[in-house]
């Protein structure tokens, strides 16, 4: 009998780097994501682009990664460059989000995953923060717990509760949420006003622009696992 919730995690693909590798792409993901899901009480399941059994999952984690295609992000005419776009990943993660949302699963989006959720719900992204005139640095070095920038959360919000004990966050992004998608409400911001977290009105979708998996911030993953474990995630 299953006692721990199955949490599907989106992954990405790379070209083989070794001539001895088999032809085709390699699927990749930093181990920090599944490790945090395991520590939070869930069972991590890495999802290839061919996966479509949404109802087999109890929750979904949309991981970080490269830029979302400008046509999807609604920023084709913005200044700046979209980097390392993968239309196949965009298409899969859109289907994953919509399938999971239709099943009523809890969903956590981190960095790119946060942006993907926003775009899936009709929101738009800033194509490049510096090109848009935002001087604040969001690609913090070193990438990890030592590289933090301040964040402010709305009083009484889920983001404030999850941020308890953390005055700053670890970031590595040059795009960000511009206009919010349907049902979303911003609940945390950087000093310059960049959206750092949003929550959906249904209470089951959370977007975090920073990288909690890189700063040992377990609370967002525990939120996902606990919600997924309640009634099988529904």
Q: What digits encode the pLDDT tens for the residues 110-155?
A: 999 999 999 999 999 999 888 889 888 888 888 888 888 999 999 9
pLDDT-derived band at 20 (thresholds 50, 70, 90) equals: low
pLDDT-derived band at 43 (thresholds 50, 70, 90) equals: very high
User: Minimal CA–CA distance to 10: which of 144, 170, 117, 162?
Assistant: 117
**Mean pLDDT computed over 189-212:** 97
Proportion of the chain in helix, strand, coil states, percent, rounded to 5: 25, 25, 50
What integer pLDDT is reported at residue 18 of this predicted model?
58
**Mean pLDDT computed over 203-218:** 96
**For the chain, which domains are there?**
6-233 (3.40.50.880)
- pLDDT tens string 122-133: 999 999 888 889
Residue 55 and residue 104 in contact, taking contact as beta carbons nearer than 8 Å:
no
What integer pLDDT is reported at residue 124 of this predicted model?
97
- pLDDT tens string 157-177: 999 999 998 889 999 999 999
Q: Which distant-in-sequence residues (6+ apart) come within 8 Å of 186 by Cβ?
A: 154, 177, 180, 195, 197, 198
User: Which residues have a catalytic role annotated?
Assistant: 111, 211, 213
What integer pLDDT is reported at residue 21 of this predicted model?
58
DSSP calls for 174-191: S-EEEE--TTEEEEEE-T
| pLDDT above 80 (res 2) | no
pLDDT-derived band at 1 (thresholds 50, 70, 90) equals: very low
Q: Which H helix or E strand runs over 205?
A: strand 205-208
For residue 172, count CB atoms less than 10 angstroms from its CB and return exposed for 0-12, middle for 13-18, buried for 19 or more. middle
Residue with tokens 């001539």: 19
| pLDDT above 60 (res 65) | yes
């Amino acid at each position: 009998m299953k006692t721990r919730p199955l949490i599907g995690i989106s992954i990405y693909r790379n070209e083989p780097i070794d001539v001895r590798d088999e032809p085709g792409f390699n699927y990749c993901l930093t181990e920090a994501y599944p490790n945090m899901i395991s520590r939070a009480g869930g069972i991590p399941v890495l999802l290839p682009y061919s996966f479509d059994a949404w109802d087999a999952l109890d929750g979904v984690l949309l991981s970080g990664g490269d830029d979302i295609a400008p046509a999807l992000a609604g920023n084709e005419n913005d200044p700046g460059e979209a980097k390392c776009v993968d239309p196949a990943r965009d298409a899969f993660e859109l289907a994953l989000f919509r399938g999971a949302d239709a099943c009523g699963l809890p969903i956590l989006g981190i960095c790119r995953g946060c942006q993907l959720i926003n775009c899936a719900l009709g929101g738009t992204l800033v194509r490049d923060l510096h090109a848009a005139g935002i001087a604040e640095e969001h690609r913090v070095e070193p990438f990890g717990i030592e590289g933090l920038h301040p964040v402010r959360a709305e009083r009484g919000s889920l983001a404030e509760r999850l941020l308890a004990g953390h005055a700053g966050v670890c970031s590595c992004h040059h795009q960000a949420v511009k206009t919010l998608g349907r049902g979303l409400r911003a609940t945390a911001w950087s000093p310059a006003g960049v959206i750092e977290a949003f929550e959906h009105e249904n209470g089951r979708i959370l977007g975090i622009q920073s990288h909690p998996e890189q700063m040992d911030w377990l609370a967002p993953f525990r939120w996902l696992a606990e919600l997924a474990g309640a009634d099988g995630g529904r």
